[in-house]
Structure 1
């Protein structure tokens, strides 16, 4: 193994977690599809929920103590679950359909909601989490 390279078990944890997260995202977008000219609620909810949970992870002692669990859940599951590419594409589609106001609302609203979710989760995490 190259010095500084991640252990194979950590790479596997990220890969498996990423597959799980991507499948969960795909399942939700299939269950709640968005028209190209409508607000993409599924991806909005996925990104906000993913931001919240990612910021909440440090509250859990098991995640802090087990590196493999931290990378499986963080960059793995939540990295596969959340999506900048779909967010960007759906914004482009709204603009393409002449829905400029809705596109701007989606772009700004997603960032604002994700930041609010992270702020709330961070406060919960700072209040102690489980020890």
Structure 2
């Protein structure tokens, strides 16, 4: 149990630091592009991690570190929510665009990430 908690903590801390670094590099504007990109990339990575470890009986600690930890610490629902509400005060259209891009982009990225890694696993077997 302790090793799982440590793996998630190390992964989560790494993801949070990585998110902070990206948000510092990308210019900020009224539209929260950095959070949108972070959440879409994080969804892609989580799809890949989930797919990679699917039906494997080993690597649980690494899966927790990368999936729950890194991807969980990297992506951010709370920042997305705060930015969506702030955008609503400025422009309902921009807020709707942001929400739509985040949700549809995240789902699409997860799906693509899953299939990219599933395709690689199929090539390894074949």
TM-score interval (norm. to shorter): 0.7 to 0.9
Answering whether residue 95 of structure 2 is matched by residue 92 of structure 1, we say no
Answering whether residue 2 of structure 2 is matched by residue 8 of structure 1, we say yes
Alignment of 1:79-118 (within 5 A): 79-96=72-89, 98-118=90-110
Which of 13, 26, 29 lines up with 1:32 in the alignment? 26
Structure 1 portions without partners, runs of 5+: 1-6
- Alpha-carbon RMSD: 1.6
TM, length-normalised to structure 1 = 0.83
Q: CA deviation at 1:102?
A: 0.3
Q: Distance in 2 between matches of 1:26 and 1:126?
A: 30
| Partner deviation per Cα, 1:86-123 (whole Å, 9 max, x = no partner) | 10111111112x21100000001110011111121222
Bigger helix fraction: 2
Q: Distance in 1 between matches of 2:100 and 2:51?
A: 28
Q: Distance in 1 between matches of 2:80 and 2:41?
A: 14
Structure 2 portions without partners, runs of 5+: none
Aligned residues: 120
